Protein backbone atom coordinates (compact mmCIF):
# COMPACT_ATOMS: atom_id res chain seq x y z
CA UNK A 1 0.00 0.00 0.00
CA UNK A 2 1.28 3.41 -0.95
CA UNK A 3 1.00 6.34 1.43
CA UNK A 4 0.50 9.67 -0.33
CA UNK A 5 0.68 12.89 1.66
CA UNK A 6 0.91 15.65 -0.93
CA UNK A 7 -1.94 16.91 -3.10
CA UNK A 8 0.34 16.90 -6.14
CA UNK A 9 1.27 13.25 -5.43
CA UNK A 10 -2.42 12.31 -5.32
CA UNK A 11 -3.20 14.30 -8.47
CA UNK A 12 -0.34 12.71 -10.33
CA UNK A 13 -1.56 9.22 -9.36
CA UNK A 14 -5.20 9.90 -10.20
CA UNK A 15 -4.29 11.38 -13.58
CA UNK A 16 -2.99 7.91 -14.43
CA UNK A 17 -6.03 5.81 -13.45
CA UNK A 18 -6.89 5.44 -17.15
CA UNK A 19 -10.02 3.33 -17.58
CA UNK A 20 -9.56 1.42 -14.30
CA UNK A 21 -12.35 1.57 -11.70
CA UNK A 22 -11.38 3.32 -8.48
CA UNK A 23 -13.21 2.92 -5.17
CA UNK A 24 -12.71 5.68 -2.61
CA UNK A 25 -13.38 5.54 1.13
CA UNK A 26 -13.01 8.96 2.79
CA UNK A 27 -12.43 8.74 6.56
CA UNK A 28 -11.16 10.76 9.48
CA UNK A 29 -9.11 7.78 10.63
CA UNK A 30 -9.46 5.85 13.91
CA UNK A 31 -10.63 3.06 11.62
CA UNK A 32 -13.07 0.51 13.00
CA UNK A 33 -15.02 -2.41 11.57
CA UNK A 34 -17.54 0.01 10.00
CA UNK A 35 -14.80 1.69 7.92
CA UNK A 36 -13.21 -1.68 7.17
CA UNK A 37 -16.49 -2.99 5.76
CA UNK A 38 -16.53 0.00 3.36
CA UNK A 39 -12.92 -0.66 2.32
CA UNK A 40 -13.64 -4.36 1.76
CA UNK A 41 -16.67 -3.54 -0.35
CA UNK A 42 -14.63 -1.03 -2.37
CA UNK A 43 -12.02 -3.80 -2.80
CA UNK A 44 -14.65 -6.19 -4.19
CA UNK A 45 -16.10 -3.67 -6.61
CA UNK A 46 -13.04 -1.84 -8.00
CA UNK A 47 -9.59 -2.39 -9.50
CA UNK A 48 -8.00 0.27 -7.28
CA UNK A 49 -8.94 1.26 -3.71
CA UNK A 50 -8.02 4.61 -2.16
CA UNK A 51 -8.67 5.42 1.51
CA UNK A 52 -8.21 8.95 2.84
CA UNK A 53 -7.41 9.78 6.46
CA UNK A 54 -7.97 13.43 7.24
CA UNK A 55 -9.45 14.94 10.39
CA UNK A 56 -11.19 17.82 8.71
CA UNK A 57 -11.05 20.95 10.91
CA UNK A 58 -13.78 22.76 8.96
CA UNK A 59 -16.51 20.33 10.03
CA UNK A 60 -15.89 20.84 13.77
CA UNK A 61 -17.42 23.72 15.70
CA UNK A 62 -15.26 25.89 17.98
CA UNK A 63 -16.30 23.98 21.11
CA UNK A 64 -16.22 20.52 19.55
CA UNK A 65 -13.67 17.72 19.90
CA UNK A 66 -11.31 18.47 16.96
CA UNK A 67 -8.15 18.50 19.08
CA UNK A 68 -9.22 15.38 21.01
CA UNK A 69 -10.34 13.39 17.98
CA UNK A 70 -8.40 10.06 18.00
CA UNK A 71 -5.49 9.91 15.51
CA UNK A 72 -3.92 6.42 15.65
CA UNK A 73 -2.19 6.77 12.28
CA UNK A 74 0.10 3.71 12.49
CA UNK A 75 -2.84 1.42 13.36
CA UNK A 76 -4.96 3.01 10.60
CA UNK A 77 -2.24 2.35 8.03
CA UNK A 78 -2.07 -1.30 9.03
CA UNK A 79 -5.85 -1.78 9.07
CA UNK A 80 -6.38 -0.05 5.72
CA UNK A 81 -3.69 -2.23 4.14
CA UNK A 82 -5.14 -5.44 5.59
CA UNK A 83 -8.64 -4.50 4.40
CA UNK A 84 -7.32 -4.13 0.85
CA UNK A 85 -6.45 -0.46 0.25
CA UNK A 86 -3.88 0.25 -2.46
CA UNK A 87 -3.40 3.91 -1.58
CA UNK A 88 -3.71 5.76 1.72
CA UNK A 89 -4.10 9.47 1.12
CA UNK A 90 -3.29 11.53 4.23
CA UNK A 91 -3.05 15.21 3.31
CA UNK A 92 -2.32 18.00 5.80
CA UNK A 93 -4.79 20.69 6.80
CA UNK A 94 -2.30 23.33 5.62
CA UNK A 95 -2.34 21.82 2.13
CA UNK A 96 -6.13 21.43 1.90
CA UNK A 97 -6.87 24.83 3.46
CA UNK A 98 -3.98 27.10 2.48
CA UNK A 99 -3.95 30.78 3.52
CA UNK A 100 -6.59 32.68 1.57
CA UNK A 101 -8.91 29.67 1.22
CA UNK A 102 -12.46 31.00 0.83
CA UNK A 103 -14.58 28.71 -1.35
CA UNK A 104 -17.24 26.72 0.47
CA UNK A 105 -19.90 24.27 -0.69
CA UNK A 106 -23.32 24.57 0.88
CA UNK A 107 -25.94 21.90 0.23
CA UNK A 108 -28.59 24.24 1.49
CA UNK A 109 -31.80 22.49 2.59
CA UNK A 110 -30.48 19.05 3.50
CA UNK A 111 -27.84 20.63 5.75
CA UNK A 112 -30.34 22.57 7.87
CA UNK A 113 -32.33 20.09 10.01
CA UNK A 114 -31.23 17.42 12.51
CA UNK A 115 -27.44 17.60 13.09
CA UNK A 116 -27.30 20.83 11.08
CA UNK A 117 -29.34 22.57 13.81
CA UNK A 118 -26.93 21.54 16.54
CA UNK A 119 -23.68 21.75 14.56
CA UNK A 120 -23.91 24.94 12.50
CA UNK A 121 -21.47 24.85 9.56
CA UNK A 122 -20.78 21.13 10.00
CA UNK A 123 -22.20 20.01 6.65
CA UNK A 124 -20.62 22.95 4.85
CA UNK A 125 -17.28 21.63 6.11
CA UNK A 126 -18.16 18.06 5.13
CA UNK A 127 -19.44 18.99 1.65
CA UNK A 128 -16.40 21.17 0.96
CA UNK A 129 -13.81 18.60 1.99
CA UNK A 130 -15.64 15.75 0.25
CA UNK A 131 -15.72 17.73 -3.01
CA UNK A 132 -12.01 18.55 -2.66
CA UNK A 133 -11.13 14.91 -1.96
CA UNK A 134 -13.26 13.69 -4.88
CA UNK A 135 -11.49 16.18 -7.17
CA UNK A 136 -8.08 14.98 -6.02
CA UNK A 137 -8.79 11.23 -6.03
CA UNK A 138 -11.15 11.09 -9.05
CA UNK A 139 -12.84 7.83 -8.05
CA UNK A 140 -15.53 5.94 -9.95
CA UNK A 141 -17.32 5.10 -6.69
CA UNK A 142 -17.20 6.66 -3.21
CA UNK A 143 -18.41 4.74 -0.16
CA UNK A 144 -20.26 6.24 2.82
CA UNK A 145 -21.79 4.60 5.90
CA UNK A 146 -25.52 4.93 6.54
CA UNK A 147 -24.83 5.66 10.21
CA UNK A 148 -24.15 9.23 9.13
CA UNK A 149 -27.48 9.25 7.35
CA UNK A 150 -27.73 13.02 6.85
CA UNK A 151 -24.13 13.19 5.65
CA UNK A 152 -24.83 10.49 3.09
CA UNK A 153 -27.86 12.43 1.80
CA UNK A 154 -25.87 15.69 1.66
CA UNK A 155 -23.04 14.04 -0.27
CA UNK A 156 -25.40 12.30 -2.67
CA UNK A 157 -27.13 15.63 -3.40
CA UNK A 158 -23.78 17.37 -3.85
CA UNK A 159 -22.65 14.75 -6.38
CA UNK A 160 -25.91 14.99 -8.29
CA UNK A 161 -26.27 18.81 -8.20
CA UNK A 162 -22.67 19.38 -9.31
CA UNK A 163 -22.70 16.57 -11.91
CA UNK A 164 -19.74 14.82 -10.36
CA UNK A 165 -18.65 11.73 -12.31
CA UNK A 166 -18.81 9.46 -9.27
CA UNK A 167 -21.31 6.98 -7.88
CA UNK A 168 -22.08 7.53 -4.21
CA UNK A 169 -22.51 4.12 -2.58
CA UNK A 170 -24.26 3.80 0.79
CA UNK A 171 -23.29 0.92 3.06
CA UNK A 172 -25.33 -0.47 5.98
CA UNK A 173 -24.59 0.49 9.58
CA UNK A 174 -22.24 -1.89 11.39
CA UNK A 175 -23.16 -2.58 15.01
CA UNK A 176 -21.35 -4.11 17.96
CA UNK A 177 -22.89 -7.13 19.74
CA UNK A 178 -24.69 -4.80 22.16
CA UNK A 179 -26.37 -3.04 19.21
CA UNK A 180 -24.38 0.22 19.42
CA UNK A 181 -23.51 1.60 15.97
CA UNK A 182 -19.74 1.54 15.46
CA UNK A 183 -18.12 4.96 15.71
CA UNK A 184 -14.58 6.24 16.30
CA UNK A 185 -15.82 8.24 19.28
CA UNK A 186 -17.17 5.17 21.15
CA UNK A 187 -13.71 4.64 22.68
CA UNK A 188 -14.45 7.59 24.98
CA UNK A 189 -17.49 5.89 26.59
CA UNK A 190 -17.01 4.46 30.09
CA UNK A 191 -18.50 0.96 30.62
CA UNK A 192 -21.54 2.53 32.34
CA UNK A 193 -22.03 5.00 29.48
CA UNK A 194 -21.60 2.19 26.97
CA UNK A 195 -24.41 0.30 28.70
CA UNK A 196 -26.64 3.36 28.31
CA UNK A 197 -25.61 3.75 24.65
CA UNK A 198 -26.85 0.20 24.10
CA UNK A 199 -30.19 1.17 25.65
CA UNK A 200 -30.48 4.03 23.16
CA UNK A 201 -29.77 1.64 20.26
CA UNK A 202 -32.43 -0.78 21.56
CA UNK A 203 -34.95 2.01 22.01
CA UNK A 204 -34.49 3.10 18.39
CA UNK A 205 -34.89 -0.46 17.15
CA UNK A 206 -38.11 -0.87 19.13
CA UNK A 207 -39.41 2.47 17.88
CA UNK A 208 -38.75 1.39 14.29
CA UNK A 209 -40.72 -1.79 15.04
CA UNK A 210 -43.61 0.24 16.45
CA UNK A 211 -43.75 2.48 13.39
CA UNK A 212 -43.69 -0.54 11.13
CA UNK A 213 -46.40 -2.44 12.96
CA UNK A 214 -48.67 0.45 13.96
CA UNK A 215 -47.55 3.36 11.80
CA UNK A 216 -47.54 5.42 14.96
CA UNK A 217 -44.84 8.06 14.91
CA UNK A 218 -45.92 9.87 18.09
CA UNK A 219 -45.99 6.71 20.26
CA UNK A 220 -42.61 5.63 18.87
CA UNK A 221 -41.02 9.02 19.58
CA UNK A 222 -42.52 9.16 23.07
CA UNK A 223 -41.06 5.73 23.91
CA UNK A 224 -37.55 6.59 22.71
CA UNK A 225 -37.56 9.91 24.58
CA UNK A 226 -38.75 8.18 27.76
CA UNK A 227 -35.77 5.81 27.59
CA UNK A 228 -33.31 8.61 26.80
CA UNK A 229 -34.60 10.82 29.62
CA UNK A 230 -33.98 8.00 32.09
CA UNK A 231 -30.28 7.86 31.15
CA UNK A 232 -28.09 9.72 33.64
CA UNK A 233 -25.80 12.38 32.15
CA UNK A 234 -27.65 12.26 28.80
CA UNK A 235 -28.58 15.30 26.72
CA UNK A 236 -30.92 14.79 23.79
CA UNK A 237 -30.08 16.87 20.71
CA UNK A 238 -32.94 15.39 18.73
CA UNK A 239 -35.06 12.33 18.09
CA UNK A 240 -37.09 12.64 14.91
CA UNK A 241 -38.89 10.64 12.29
CA UNK A 242 -38.13 12.04 8.85
CA UNK A 243 -38.66 11.45 5.18
CA UNK A 244 -35.50 9.62 4.05
CA UNK A 245 -35.23 11.70 0.86
CA UNK A 246 -35.92 15.24 2.06
CA UNK A 247 -35.23 14.77 5.80
CA UNK A 248 -38.40 16.75 6.52
CA UNK A 249 -40.20 15.57 9.68
CA UNK A 250 -43.15 13.22 9.13
CA UNK A 251 -46.03 12.48 11.46
CA UNK A 252 -47.60 9.67 9.43
CA UNK A 253 -45.49 7.10 7.62
CA UNK A 254 -46.98 6.08 4.30
CA UNK A 255 -44.14 4.07 2.88
CA UNK A 256 -40.61 4.80 4.13
CA UNK A 257 -39.23 6.82 7.00
CA UNK A 258 -36.10 7.07 9.04
CA UNK A 259 -36.00 7.49 12.77
CA UNK A 260 -32.88 9.40 13.77
CA UNK A 261 -31.39 10.39 17.10
CA UNK A 262 -28.42 12.37 18.35
CA UNK A 263 -27.64 12.41 22.04
CA UNK A 264 -24.73 13.23 24.25
CA UNK A 265 -23.93 10.59 26.83
CA UNK A 266 -21.20 11.97 29.06
CA UNK A 267 -18.47 13.32 26.79
CA UNK A 268 -19.61 11.57 23.62
CA UNK A 269 -22.11 12.66 21.01
CA UNK A 270 -23.77 9.56 19.55
CA UNK A 271 -25.86 9.44 16.42
CA UNK A 272 -27.88 6.51 15.18
CA UNK A 273 -30.83 5.78 12.92
CA UNK A 274 -33.17 3.08 11.69
CA UNK A 275 -34.86 2.96 8.32
CA UNK A 276 -38.47 1.79 8.34
CA UNK A 277 -40.52 0.50 5.44
CA UNK A 278 -44.23 0.28 6.15
CA UNK A 279 -46.63 -2.06 4.38
CA UNK A 280 -44.40 -5.04 3.60
O1 LIG B 1 -17.66 10.62 7.88
C2 LIG B 1 -16.52 11.09 8.02
O3 LIG B 1 -15.61 10.45 8.53
C4 LIG B 1 -16.24 12.50 7.52
O5 LIG B 1 -17.33 13.33 7.73
C6 LIG B 1 -15.76 12.56 6.06
C7 LIG B 1 -16.82 12.06 5.11
C8 LIG B 1 -14.49 11.73 5.91
C9 LIG B 1 -15.44 14.00 5.68
O10 LIG B 1 -14.47 14.55 6.51
d(CA 200, CA 269): 12
Closest approach atom of ligand 1 to CA 52: 8
2-171 maps to CATH 3.40.50.620: yes
Nearest CA to ligand 1 atom 2: 27
Closest approach atom of ligand 1 to CA 56: 10
Closest approach atom of ligand 1 to CA 155: 7
State the pLDDT at residue 279. Answer: 82
Nearest CA to ligand 1 atom 6: 27
Which of 24, 38, 64, 130 to probe ligand 1 with, by most ligand atoms within 8 A of CB?
Answer: 130
Under 8 Å between Cβ of 57 and 97: yes
CATH class held by domain 184-277: alpha beta
State the pLDDT at residue 280. Answer: 63
Spatial neighbors of 49 by CB under 8 A, at least 6 apart, are 22, 23, 24, 25, 39, 42, 43, 84, 85, 86, 87
State the pLDDT at residue 216. Answer: 85
State the pLDDT at residue 87. Answer: 98
Nearest CA to ligand 1 atom 9: 126
Question: What is the largest distance, in Å, between two alpha-carbon atoms of the chain?
Answer: 56
Q: Where are the domains of the chain?
A: 2-171, 184-277
CA-based nearest residue to 71, from 57, 54, 85:
54
Q: How many CB atoms lie within 10 A of CB 33?
A: 13
Measure 234 CA to ligand 1 centroid, in angstroms: 25
Q: What are phi and psi of 142, to 5 degrees?
A: -125, 140
Clarify whether 32 is annotated catalytic: no
For every residue of 89-140, DSSP letters joined together read E---HHHHS-TT-------TTTTSSTHHHHSTTHHHHHHHHHHHHHHHH--S
Measure 239 CA to ligand 1 centroid, in angstroms: 22
Mean pLDDT by 10 residues, the chain (280 residues): 98 98 98 97 98 98 93 98 98 98 98 98 98 98 98 98 98 97 95 96 96 89 96 95 97 94 96 92
Which of 24, 25, 26 to probe ligand 1 with, by most ligand atoms within 8 A of CB?
Answer: 26
Q: Which residues pair with 24 in a beta bridge?
A: 50, 142
3-state secondary structure of 268: strand
3-state secondary structure of 2: strand
Residues at CB less than 6 angstroms from ligand 1 = 26-28, 56, 59, 126, 129-130, 148, 151
Measure 121 CA to ligand 1 centroid, in angstroms: 14
Catalytic residue among 35, 122, 124, 138: 35
d(CA 62, CA 67): 10
**Start-to-end CA span in the chain (Å):** 45
Measure 126 CA to ligand 1 centroid, in angstroms: 6
The secondary structure of residue 175, as a DSSP letter, is: B
Burial classification of residue 111, based on how many CB atoms lie within 10 Å of its CB (0-12 exposed, 13-18 middle, 19 or more buried): buried
Amino acid sequence: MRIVRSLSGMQSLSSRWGGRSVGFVPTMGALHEGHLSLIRRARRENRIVVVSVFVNPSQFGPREDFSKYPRPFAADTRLARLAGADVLFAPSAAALYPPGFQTWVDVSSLSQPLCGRFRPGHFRGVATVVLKLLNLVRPSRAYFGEKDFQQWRVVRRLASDLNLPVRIVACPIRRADDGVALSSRNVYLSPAQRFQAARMARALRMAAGLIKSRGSVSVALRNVKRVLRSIPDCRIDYVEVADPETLAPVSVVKRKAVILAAVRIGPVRLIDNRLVTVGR
